[in-house]
Structure 1
Amino acid sequence: MLSNAFVLGAGGGFTGGDIIVQLVLFLVLLALLKKFAWGPLMGIMQERENHIAGEIDAAEKSRTEASKYLEEQRELLKEARQEALTLIESAKKQGDDQRSQIILEARQESERLKESAKREIETQKDQAMAALREQVASLSVMIASKVIEKELSVEDQEQLINDYIKEAGDQR
């Protein structure tokens, strides 16, 4: 019977004292959990949340900086392209200017050589004419002295030749 009483007492229900004891034990358990488990767990969770928030902020900051650097690089590339185009245009203009200058100098040199050649031809012509006059003069004197068979002085002969040459030159 004792065993039946034990079973009946165990299954018969809770008494007010049991409920209060269990309630106190439950509250003690909650207090211990809060102090030793829940508090540190919440601290760890808060640290984790702060760490993740920091990582997100750092990633956002890095993304912003990367975007800024990308834009700067694009701007620098654009400036470099513009500068390259400016240099190319400048080089083309300078090449055109040099080409024009070389052509002008070549034309001037050509004209100078042409004028020099004309002067040289004129000088050679004048020298040839002078040499021809001298030969004509001496031949004329020889022929005249033989034809006339008269002796003229050298001075008279030269005077006569010079007059004749002068008249021939005036007639041209």
Structure 2
Amino acid sequence: MEVRLSTLIMTWINFAIIILLLRHFFWNKLKGIIEERQNLINQKISKADEDAEKARMYLVKNEQILQSAKEEGKKITERQKEKGDKLYDEIVSNAKAEASSLKERASLEIEREKQKAEFEIKKQAIDLAVELSVKALSQKIDEETHRKLIGDFIAKVGM
């Protein structure tokens, strides 16, 4: 195989012409496409960095909100516990007051019944005394009859 110098020179010249033509017609377009692609990639990287920063900020903010919600939950729980304790104390106090009132009413009722019973006993004693007096006045009383009437009176009264 024989390489001719003229063919070699012509090949180099054709190659140079093709490069010049490609550079003239397509180089700026390729360079623009490459720059656009590079800009798009840079924008996406910037956007990803911004999104990552926003995500970190949201994470911190959400942690603060969560902590605040936990504290508020504790406060609400404590307030409800205090209300429950207060209601419990109030119910116990009302129950004690009601029990005391019932006890007092029962004592009053017992006292009334006692007075009523005493009154009835006195009334019966008076009735018996009157009855005894009537019997004594209607009969001639000697000492033995007198003792018998007193014995009957005591038996009826229950002394």
TM-score tier by shorter-chain length is 0.7 to 0.9
Instruction: State the 1:148 CA deviation.
Output: 3.5
Instruction: State the 1:32 CA deviation.
Output: 2.6
* Alpha-carbon RMSD: 2.4
- Match of residue 56, structure 2, among 64, 67, 71: 67
- TM-score in terms of structure 1 length: 0.67
- Match of residue 147, structure 1, among 118, 136, 154: 136
Match runs of 1:28-47 below 5 Å: 31-47=20-36
Q: Percent same amino acid at aligned positions? A: 30
Which protein, 1 or 2, shows the higher relative CO under an 8 Å CA cutoff with sep ≥ 6? 2
Larger Rg: 1
Q: Could you tell me which runs of 5 or more consecutive residues in structure 2 were left unpaired when the two chains were aligned.
A: 140-159
Q: What's 2:104 paired with? A: 115
SS state at 2:87 partner:
helix
- Match of residue 80, structure 2, among 75, 81, 91: 91
Q: Could you tell me which runs of 5 or more consecutive residues in structure 1 were left unpaired when the two chains were aligned.
A: 1-6, 12-17, 151-172
Instruction: State the 1:45 CA deviation.
Output: 1.3
CA displacement 1:23-80 (0-9 Å, x = unmatched): 8x94x55543432232222111111110111101111121122122222221221122
Instruction: State the 1:108 CA deviation.
Output: 0.3
Aligned length: 131
- TM-score in terms of structure 2 length: 0.72
